[in-house]
Amino acid sequence: MVFYITQWSSDLWTGYISNAVLFVGILIFVIHVNKAMGGRASLGNLFGMGLLAAGIAIVIVASATIIFHLATEPPAGTTGNLPSDGARMSEYSASKREGFWIFLLGNTFVTNAVLGGLAALLGAVTVKRNQKTTDAR
């Protein structure tokens, strides 16, 4: 079980890195928006701007993922039983290629939307702790 989990984690490290970059990027964006508005932005404005930035980032990541998927489409007739490396499936495996759309929906849209929304909320609440004043203290 330990070897399975560590191999699974090592297969997904790029997803973890991109999710972390999205999360930290939205936090920094919300802080920057507050500074750009002179510290007078409301909690709702900051949260909305964070959600907007997360939505734009999700569209960019999804577009790049789809382009890379279509660019690496195997030539016709090669989707049969290609050799695999032990327990790993070949990139040209029909079952792996068909699972792409579920991956796109689940990982790219849902996971990034949840992380983007959480980062927007966390950033807005952190920057505007005291809503009775106009400054960020």
The domain ranges of the chain are 9-73+87-127
Cα–Cα distances (Å) from 26 to 78, 105, 116, in that order, read 41, 21, 7
The pTM score is 0.72
Dihedral sign (CA 5, 6, 12, 13): positive
Per-residue model confidence as pLDDT tens digits over 60-119: 988 988 888 778 776 666 555 555 555 555 555 555 666 778 878 888 889 899 999 999
pLDDT at 128: 78
The answer to whether 33 and 41 have CB atoms below 8 angstroms apart is yes
DSSP code, position 76? T
Angle (nearest 5°) at CA 114 between 113 and 119 = 95
pLDDT at 90: 53
